[in-house]
């Protein structure tokens, strides 16, 4: 049992069986009390991320931060290592964008099947790529609320190009040759059929890239029939915060959007000029507490009635 201020929460091992039989190994954080509890599935961003939202070099610690905030409100949460990461077998480089979404759906079904989880009180929280999957999963029968942290509302290729332009502005070298190289490599990936393609000698997840580029999240937003909370930071340089307007327009039911001043894609505040070169510094700070409280309180009001 893990002490958390005056509250208590406990982490238990939980394994989700994916559609192809692979075991997704994760952690179910349960709040104090016998339950059944409302609960959420946490879906992280892109890359080789474990259940906590960390890589070997960049430790975002989003999973434990959200789990603790939710447990204080009596909400359980499930997070898991994606394919080929941590305790989950597989090859993350050969895993597709659609595979990640299917694994999220399997996690929702597994959570809903537990006797200690309350029926009709399950949500999904997605960050970055995870937010795009949360949009699609918002139409699943198991889902009763959706939280989108830094999610885009456009074609995947448009989102990637917006991100690349913003990141390139801060590079200390001329970007025109880099853009030309990136366009050539992107065209090569789009015309390939292999799951993994070598780019400049490095293996790249071509399957994931092709599927992400062709996916338009706007259709998923229009199909959500449950309450939605969408938050993007004003200092986000990976996802256009202006997409919040499109999210509000497209979601047919209850939707609440917030563009948070000084909030970055890493869900930390930074009053300075936004830059990927500040990421290592920002990750030495905790996830913004006000953001965690806002998400947890909103979910409590939607799932605990």
Q: What is the pLDDT of residues 68-120, one digit of tens each?
A: 999 999 999 999 999 999 999 999 999 999 999 999 999 999 999 999 999 99
Query: For residue 157, how many C-alpha atoms fall within 13 Å in the half-sphere facing its CB?
Result: 10
Q: Look at residue 7 in the predicted model and tell me its pLDDT.
A: 55
Chain segment 268-298, per-residue pLDDT in tens: 999 999 999 899 999 999 999 999 999 999 9
In whole numbers, what is the pLDDT of the chain averaged over residues?
92
Average pLDDT over residues 231-252: 98
Query: What confidence tier does 2 reach under pLDDT thresholds 50, 70, 90?
Result: very low
Query: What confidence tier does 192 reach under pLDDT thresholds 50, 70, 90?
Result: confident
Model pTM score: 0.93
Q: Look at residue 6 in the predicted model and tell me its pLDDT.
A: 41
Specify the pairing of strand 23-31 against strand 76-80. antiparallel
Q: Look at residue 203 in the predicted model and tell me its pLDDT.
A: 83
Query: For residue 236, how many C-alpha atoms fall within 13 Å in the half-sphere facing its CB?
Result: 26
Average pLDDT over residues 127-156: 97
High-pLDDT (> 90) share of the chain, % = 80
Torsion angle in degrees (nearest 10) through CA of 222, 227, 232, 238 = -40
Q: Judge whether residue 49 has pLDDT over 70.
A: yes
Q: Look at residue 125 in the predicted model and tell me its pLDDT.
A: 98
User: Among residues 271, 293, 298, 295, which one has the least CA distance to residue 282?
Assistant: 271
- Structural domains in the chain, CATH included, are 2-154+216-300 (3.40.50.1820)
Report how far residue 48's alpha carbon sits from residue 39's, in angstroms, rounded to the nearest whole number. 25
Phi, psi (deg, nearest 5) at residue 255:
-145, 135
Lowest-confidence region among 122-126, 149-153, 236-240, 301-305: 301-305
Chain segment 197-218, per-residue pLDDT in tens: 887 778 888 999 999 999 999 9
Query: What confidence tier does 15 reach under pLDDT thresholds 50, 70, 90?
Result: very high
Q: Look at residue 4 in the predicted model and tell me its pLDDT.
A: 41
Average pLDDT over residues 247-260: 98
Q: Look at residue 197 in the predicted model and tell me its pLDDT.
A: 84
Order of all β-strands in the sheet with 76-80: 2-4, 7-17, 23-31, 76-80, 37-43, 117-127, 145-149, 228-233, 255-260
Q: Look at residue 5 in the predicted model and tell me its pLDDT.
A: 40
């Amino acid at each position: 049992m893990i002490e958390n201020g005056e509250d208590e929460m406990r982490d238990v091992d939980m394994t989700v069986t994916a559609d192809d039989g692979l075991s997704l190994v994760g952690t179910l954080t349960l709040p104090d009390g016998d339950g059944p509890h409302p609960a959420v599935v946490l879906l992280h961003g892109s890359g080789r991320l474990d259940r906590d939202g960390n890589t070997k070099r960049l430790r975002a610690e989003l999973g434990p931060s959200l789990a603790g905030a939710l447990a204080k409100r009596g909400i359980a949460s499930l997070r898991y290592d994606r394919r080929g990461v941590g305790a989950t077998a597989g090859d993350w480089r050969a895993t597709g964008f659609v595979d990640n979404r299917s694994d999220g759906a399997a996690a929702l079904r597994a959570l809903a099947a537990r006797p200690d989880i309350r029926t009709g009180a399950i949500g999904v929280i997605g960050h970055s790529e995870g937010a795009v999957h949360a949009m699609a999963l918002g139409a699943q029968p198991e889902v009763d609320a959706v939280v989108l942290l830094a999610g885009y509302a456009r074609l995947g290729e448009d989102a990637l190009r917006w991100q690349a332009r913003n990141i390139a502005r801060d590079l200390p070298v001329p970007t025109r040759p880099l853009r030309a190289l990136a366009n050539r490599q992107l065209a090569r990936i789009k015309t390939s059929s292999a799951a993994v393609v070598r780019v400049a000698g490095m293996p790249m997840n071509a399957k994931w890239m092709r599927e992400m580029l062709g996916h338009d999240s706007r259709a998923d937003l229009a199909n959500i029939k449950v309450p939605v909370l969408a938050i993007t930071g004003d200092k986000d340089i990976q996802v256009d915060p202006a997409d919040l307007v499109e999210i509000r327009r497209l979601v047919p039911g209850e939707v609440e959007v917030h563009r948070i001043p000084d909030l970055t894609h890493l869900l930390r505040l930074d009053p300075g000029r936004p830059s990927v070169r500040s990421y290592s510094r920002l990750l030495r700070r905790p996830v913004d507490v006000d953001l965690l409280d806002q998400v947890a309180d909103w979910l409590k009001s939607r799932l605990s009635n």
